[in-house]
A and B are shown apart, each in its own frame.
Chain A
Amino acid sequence: MTTQQDKPSGFAATDVLVNKFEDGPDTVEKAEKAPDELQPFADLGLKDDEYAKIREILGRRPTASELAMYSIMWSEHCSYKSSKVHLREFVAKVPKNTRMLAGIGENAGVVQVSDDLAVTFKVESHNHPSYVEPYQGAATGVGGIVRDILAMGARPIAVMDPLRFGAADHPDTARVLPGVVAGIGGYGNCLGLPNIGGEIVFDPCYQGNPLVNALSIGVMPVERLQKKEATGTGNIVVLMGARTGRDGIGGVSVLASATFDEEAEQRRPSVQVGDPFMEKLLIESCLELYDAGLVSGIQDLGGAGLTCALTETAAAAGTGMRVWLERVPLREASMSPTEILASESQERMLLIVTPENLEAVLKVAEKWGVWATAIGEVTPAGADGTPGRLLITWNDHVVVDVPPGSLADDGPVYDRPMREPSDLILLQADRAETLHRPSTGDELRETVLRMIASPNLCDKTWVTEQYDRYVLGNTVLAQPEDSGVLRLDEVTNLGVALSVDGNGRYARLDPYEGAKLALAESYRNVAVTGAEPIAVSDCLNFGSPEDPAVMWQFAQAVRGLADGCQQLGIPVTGGNVSFYNQTGAAAIHPTPVIGVLGLFDDVTRRIPMGFKNNGELLFLLGETRAELSGSEWAWVTHDHLGGRPPKVDLAAEQALGKLMAQASKAALVSAAHDLSDGGLAQVLVESCLRHEVGATVTFPADGESAFVQLFSESAGRALVAVPVGHEKAFVALAAEFGVPIAQIGVTSPEATLTVTDQFAIPLAELRTAFTETLPKLFGGSAELVNRAAPVEVEAPVSEGRSVTLELTEPKPGGPIES
């Protein structure tokens, strides 16, 4: 018997109910016989009125398994109950677009990119699990988003990961970051997907709530687009992939849909455990099944596991489903039916297969060495056209009998109270433009070196070289470039560019403009490579929706993003909402992370970011204003966050994009780099260091001060390098598109970054400042040299061939160029 002291919580609580019956699990029959049985709905995160609604739908109390299923499907994570009313903005404001083949509500959005090819991409969060168990949390985040892409019928071809951590020098960041990075690498590398970009941002607001978002992109022949509907009475329901275990039980309802508290550490069993090898086999099996036309419907199992997959596939088709739960292959034979339904074990897919195809499907699974088991069948809708029912038995006990739509579609919807944060007016009044600025050349020099060594602006190689960027052989550009660029077709050179961006500080100062700024930056990152931006995916990371201030930020950000997409004429094709990124009363900065997909008719014309040749002309595109509020400069040098974020002008972004696309087609530009965090100074340093080419820059005497020129974060700007001979054509093109343009310098044969009349910094000094930060914080090759080198038994170490690890980074890039 349980007592008050050791009262179990979460899903363990459902077992109390189960165990009370000596003769097997809680069944529909028992629910009818004992209607007043007290049920632990509150422990599962259900409110009183939600529980009452479940009883009303069923006409009785739910069984233990049903209760668990409702608690999962009606959780914030699965039902979007707090965000739904706001997300309608995306649908209402979706620009006219003929490319979109699948949109919001599907596993991932799909856009057509040529007569016969389509691309699907989506970004998703795995924030809470990654804090509890960084390696597995981040790894299964990659696995989950990749299965979403796979479920659409696409071969996954790359991943990206926007990450946010607490203060770089906080001890817990040293626990979380290396684990997250190793998890992303461990899973993605083993899956054979190149990692082509992302973000790494540090801010104390993410200390107890790191953001681990993952994006995946896939490509497919248009006709291979898959559906999730469980159509066809008599069709077989097949569970394929890993066996079902006790990992991840309660992940979505317990972990993802509640605020963290001190017990978070004890929730480790709620984090799933990944097996990328199994996922690789699952990918190959699914693609073989698609190509052979053996699948009628498919859905991945991720958060909410079998519960979600069964109810969504049945609800989407309006059919019923009959499932024999004891047929599910288990890792632990003692699992209860509730646990089987709630398990979030990774690397599983649910297939709907016609009876005549079943044998062929099982054969493909066998070829790849994955489990595939027929666990149920599709049953008809009611004779009167009413949807069918989901009937689940476990060893002849009826444990579930529900209308699937009531779980998948009829969850509660809340229009939660909203209120502008009370401190916002004061925050916006505290402008960074009034802070003390460096003015002398020496001060500017010191500021540049300090800025590029700061955790948010420094070189991220320590992280990115733990990811495979080459596998699949189609990576044209990867981090640290502005966008990841992939070739889709070796014959036509059709390609895509992809970027993910967000700025929590901007969104904290103004969530509406902040969301637009994130969209603008991502759009610009894609556009400066020469690609045409065509679609958007988003991951909206916020605090608790039960806090009216957070809800206000969310509504503002969604409206900003929807308005922005409408203005730019590119649709939001899908995405993810992550609430409850909050520890106690402290919410994270509102952090909309926006992914933009761009298209190349010919990917060989992509524009990289680094200077390659000396003697080329440097042009600054766009208008520079004294916009310092929310900037990296204010944060790094004054620990300041206040004022209003930079002005965003989407028409100007569009003009810049069109100019760059045209310049790329005409091959007028050899390098281009988007200006954002850290401003022009950061861009000059990055573009110089990429291939060790120096630059000399001169600011016009009558313009803004050198300081503002270097550190302002005005949006809508890019730096481009134009080979001599092309400048007239390029300047004329800029005029044609109405993009402000100023020649500010040249690339130089000297390995120095010079700002005329202000300072000169040798590239070697810049490189040292830029690259030392992360290895110092998280350990690196330097630390390893001090360790005992492997002992070579009996052999004297010959000169020049001893085991040493380099202390300095070799020059990036290679000798050849296209």
Chain B
Amino acid sequence: MRIGVVTFPGSLDDGDAARAARIAGAEAVRLWHGDPDLHGVDAVVLPGGFSYGDYLRCGAIARFAPVMESIIDAARGGLPVLGICNGFQVLCEAHLLPGALTRNQHLHFRNRDQWLKVESTNTAWTNNFTGGQEILIPVKNGEGCYVADAKTLDALEAEGRVIARYVRGNPNGSQRDIAGITNEAGNVVGIMPHPEHAVEALTGPSLDGLGFFTSVLRALAGATAGGQLAGGQQ
């Protein structure tokens, strides 16, 4: 399986996302922001960082990168896409996910090891977790406060599209403690904490982050075998 990792100018965790994909057993393929060719990858990770210096608004410029046009099209067609941190911001700016990420409520960048509760496990990126499972993943962001209007938040909860919530403390003020969400089809996931930094005992607080990457491999294997992505109804 080939997982593409996009590098925008200012992407920082792109190498780490590629490493995580490799550790999970995939082939990591680096994608360049200026190249619309997806090189036949089976899934895409939009990594953390400060794409285009976070100028204008986090993710607002990246959303118009040539590679994003291809990714937006492919995601609407079912390609599994994971946006981590800045990648989550890009997905919101691209309207693949609802809502927005705003300045942390306490106005500081915050980096800590954060407990999450996985809620929705019927997505391409979370199917290897169990519902209610608590996982420990580093969070590090300055603008990670998830906001949306009440109707959207209610709909996300009603449709089981909140994939994880912050537990034992909310690090940035996100509404309803939301750490990550998915689209209606379950193939596009955005998450603020960094699963790619919890994939090795030597460098991470846990190995919990691997679950996101093994999930997509499982979803892809299922899709190959059954002709359908795991992202749909289960």
Residues of B within 8 A of A815 (CB): 136, 206
Residues of A within 8 A of B133 (CB): none
Asked if B55 and A277 make an inter-chain contact with CB atoms under 8 angstroms apart, the answer reads yes
Map CB proximity to A onto B25-56 as digits: 1 under 8 Å, 0 otherwise.
Answer: 00000000000000000000000111011110
Asked if A471 and B13 make an inter-chain contact with CB atoms under 8 angstroms apart, the answer reads yes
Map CB proximity to B onto A778-818 as digits: 1 under 8 Å, 0 otherwise.
Answer: 00110010010110111100100111111000101111111
Identity of the chain B residue whose Cβ is nearest the Cβ of A461 in the assembled complex: B112
Partner of A795 from the list B113, B150, B168, B174 (CB cut-off 8 Å) is B150
Q: How far is the CA of A553 from the CA of B106 in the complex (A)?
A: 43
Map CB proximity to A onto B158-190 as digits: 1 under 8 Å, 0 otherwise.
Answer: 000000010011100111110000000000000
Check A465/B203 contact, CB under 8 A, given A277-B55, A803-B175.
no
Asked if A471 and B12 make an inter-chain contact with CB atoms under 8 angstroms apart, the answer reads yes
Map CB proximity to B onto A62-93 as digits: 1 under 8 Å, 0 otherwise.
Answer: 00000000000000000000000000000000
Check: B111 CB closer than 8 A to any chain A CB: yes
Check A794/B170 contact, CB under 8 A, given A368-B9, A487-B202, A814-B136.
no
Check: B78 CB closer than 8 A to any chain A CB: no
Asked if B175 and A792 make an inter-chain contact with CB atoms under 8 angstroms apart, the answer reads yes
List the one stretch of A186-194, A322-330, A421-429, A628-636 in contact with chain B: A186-194
> How distant is A592 from chain B, measured CB to nearest CB, in Å?
30
Asked if A473 and B169 make an inter-chain contact with CB atoms under 8 angstroms apart, the answer reads no
Asked if A784 and B105 make an inter-chain contact with CB atoms under 8 angstroms apart, the answer reads yes
| Residue with the greatest number of chain B CB neighbours at <10 A, chosen from A368, A467, A790 | A790
Asked if A801 and B176 make an inter-chain contact with CB atoms under 8 angstroms apart, the answer reads yes
> How distant is A122 from chain B, measured CB to nearest CB, in Å?
22
Identity of the chain A residue whose Cβ is nearest the Cβ of B149 in the assembled complex: A793
Tell me the chain B residues, 135-157 only, with Cβ under 8 Å from chain A.
Answer: 136, 138, 140, 142, 145, 147, 149-151, 153-154
Asked if A189 and B55 make an inter-chain contact with CB atoms under 8 angstroms apart, the answer reads no
Map CB proximity to B onto A702-717 as digits: 1 under 8 Å, 0 otherwise.
Answer: 0000000000000000
Check: A185 CB closer than 8 A to any chain B CB: yes
Q: How far is the CA of A806 from the CA of B177 in the complex (A)?
A: 12
Check: B76 CB closer than 8 A to any chain A CB: no
Asked if B169 and A487 make an inter-chain contact with CB atoms under 8 angstroms apart, the answer reads no
Identity of the chain B residue whose Cβ is nearest the Cβ of A284 in the assembled complex: B9
Check: A469 CB closer than 8 A to any chain B CB: yes
Residues of B within 8 A of A277 (CB): 9-10, 50, 52-55
Given A281-B9, A468-B109, 5 other A-B residues pairs in contact with their CB atoms under 8 A? A466-B109, A792-B153, A794-B149, A802-B176, A816-B206
Q: How far is the CA of A803 from the CA of B49 in the complex (A)?
A: 25
Check: B207 CB closer than 8 A to any chain A CB: yes
Identity of the chain A residue whose Cβ is nearest the Cβ of B138 in the assembled complex: A470
Asked if B111 and A803 make an inter-chain contact with CB atoms under 8 angstroms apart, the answer reads no
Check: A280 CB closer than 8 A to any chain B CB: yes
The 5 closest A-B pairs by CB, nearest first: A277-B53, A795-B150, A192-B12, A814-B205, A806-B169
Residues of A within 8 A of B175 (CB): 790, 792, 803
Asked if B154 and A806 make an inter-chain contact with CB atoms under 8 angstroms apart, the answer reads no
Check: A476 CB closer than 8 A to any chain B CB: yes
Q: How far is the CA of A813 from the CA of B205 in the complex (A)?
A: 6
Identity of the chain A residue whose Cβ is nearest the Cβ of B134 in the assembled complex: A815
Check A810/B201 contact, CB under 8 A, given A794-B151, A805-B169, A816-B207.
no
Partner of B109 from the list A189, A192, A280 (CB cut-off 8 Å) is A189
**A-B residue pairs in contact (CB < 8 Å), sample of 15:** A182-B108, A190-B50, A276-B50, A277-B52, A277-B55, A280-B9, A465-B111, A471-B48, A476-B203, A487-B203, A784-B106, A795-B153, A805-B106, A810-B113, A812-B113
Total interface residues in chain A, CB < 8 Å:
57
Residues of B within 8 A of A487 (CB): 202-203
Q: How far is the CA of A476 from the CA of B108 in the complex (A)?
A: 24
Q: How far is the CA of A815 from the CA of B200 in the complex (A)?
A: 13
Asked if B194 and A476 make an inter-chain contact with CB atoms under 8 angstroms apart, the answer reads no
Asked if A816 and B201 make an inter-chain contact with CB atoms under 8 angstroms apart, the answer reads yes
Check A275/B53 contact, CB under 8 A, given A470-B140, A476-B203, A604-B202.
yes
Check A804/B9 contact, CB under 8 A, given A192-B49, A466-B108, A470-B138.
no
Residues of A within 8 A of B174 (CB): 803
Tell me the chain A residues, 238-261 only, with Cβ under 8 Å from chain B.
Answer: none
Check: B93 CB closer than 8 A to any chain A CB: no
Residues of A within 8 A of B173 (CB): 784, 789-790, 803, 805
| Residue with the greatest number of chain A CB neighbours at <10 A, chosen from B13, B19, B176, B202 | B202
Residues of B within 8 A of A781 (CB): 106
Q: How far is the CA of A470 from the CA of B15 in the complex (A)?
A: 12
Identity of the chain A residue whose Cβ is nearest the Cβ of B172 in the assembled complex: A805
Residues of A within 8 A of B194 (CB): 470
> How distant is A280 from chain B, measured CB to nearest CB, in Å?
6
Check: A39 CB closer than 8 A to any chain B CB: no
Asked if B170 and A475 make an inter-chain contact with CB atoms under 8 angstroms apart, the answer reads no
Identity of the chain B residue whose Cβ is nearest the Cβ of A798 in the assembled complex: B176
Asked if A790 and B145 make an inter-chain contact with CB atoms under 8 angstroms apart, the answer reads yes
Identity of the chain B residue whose Cβ is nearest the Cβ of A275 in the assembled complex: B53
Residues of A within 8 A of B105 (CB): 784, 787, 789-790, 803, 805
Q: How far is the CA of A814 from the CA of B200 in the complex (A)?
A: 12
Identity of the chain B residue whose Cβ is nearest the Cβ of A780 in the assembled complex: B106
> How distant is B26 from chain A, measured CB to nearest CB, in Å?
16
Q: How far is the CA of A404 from the CA of B54 in the complex (A)?
A: 41
Q: How far is the CA of A466 from the CA of B151 in the complex (A)?
A: 33
Q: How far is the CA of A784 from the CA of B109 in the complex (A)?
A: 14
Q: How far is the CA of A476 from the CA of B203 in the complex (A)?
A: 5
Asked if A810 and B111 make an inter-chain contact with CB atoms under 8 angstroms apart, the answer reads no
> How distant is A682 from chain B, measured CB to nearest CB, in Å?
23
Asked if B109 and A186 make an inter-chain contact with CB atoms under 8 angstroms apart, the answer reads yes
Asked if A814 and B54 make an inter-chain contact with CB atoms under 8 angstroms apart, the answer reads no
Asked if A476 and B202 make an inter-chain contact with CB atoms under 8 angstroms apart, the answer reads yes
Check: A393 CB closer than 8 A to any chain B CB: no
Identity of the chain A residue whose Cβ is nearest the Cβ of B145 in the assembled complex: A790
> How distant is A543 from chain B, measured CB to nearest CB, in Å?
33
Q: How far is the CA of A812 from the CA of B112 in the complex (A)?
A: 8
Map CB proximity to B onto A280-294 as digits: 1 under 8 Å, 0 otherwise.
Answer: 110000000000000
Partner of B110 from the list A466, A604, A810 (CB cut-off 8 Å) is A466
Residues of B within 8 A of A471 (CB): 12-13, 16, 48, 140
> How distant is A531 from chain B, measured CB to nearest CB, in Å?
15
Residues of A within 8 A of B149 (CB): 793-794
Q: How far is the CA of A280 from the CA of B106 in the complex (A)?
A: 27
| Residue with the greatest number of chain A CB neighbours at <10 A, chosen from B55, B115, B153, B203 | B203
> How distant is A369 from chain B, measured CB to nearest CB, in Å?
6
Residues of A within 8 A of B140 (CB): 189, 468-471
Asked if B150 and A792 make an inter-chain contact with CB atoms under 8 angstroms apart, the answer reads yes
Check: A603 CB closer than 8 A to any chain B CB: yes
Residues of A within 8 A of B142 (CB): 189
Q: How far is the CA of A792 from the CA of B149 in the complex (A)?
A: 7
Residues of A within 8 A of B177 (CB): 801, 803
Identity of the chain A residue whose Cβ is nearest the Cβ of B142 in the assembled complex: A189
Residues of A within 8 A of B169 (CB): 805-806, 810
Residues of A within 8 A of B151 (CB): 794-795
Asked if A469 and B205 make an inter-chain contact with CB atoms under 8 angstroms apart, the answer reads no
Check: B63 CB closer than 8 A to any chain A CB: no
Q: How far is the CA of A793 from the CA of B149 in the complex (A)?
A: 6
| Residue with the greatest number of chain B CB neighbours at <10 A, chosen from A182, A604, A801 | A801
> How distant is B73 from chain A, measured CB to nearest CB, in Å?
25
Residues of A within 8 A of B108 (CB): 182, 465-466
> How distant is B2 from chain A, measured CB to nearest CB, in Å?
20
Asked if A806 and B168 make an inter-chain contact with CB atoms under 8 angstroms apart, the answer reads yes
Q: How far is the CA of A525 from the CA of B153 in the complex (A)?
A: 49
Residues of B within 8 A of A465 (CB): 108, 110-112
Partner of A805 from the list B153, B154, B170 (CB cut-off 8 Å) is B170
Asked if A185 and B202 make an inter-chain contact with CB atoms under 8 angstroms apart, the answer reads no
Q: How far is the CA of A191 from the CA of B49 in the complex (A)?
A: 9
Residues of A within 8 A of B196 (CB): 473
Check: A614 CB closer than 8 A to any chain B CB: no
Residues of A within 8 A of B106 (CB): 780-781, 784, 805
Q: How far is the CA of A190 from the CA of B109 in the complex (A)?
A: 11
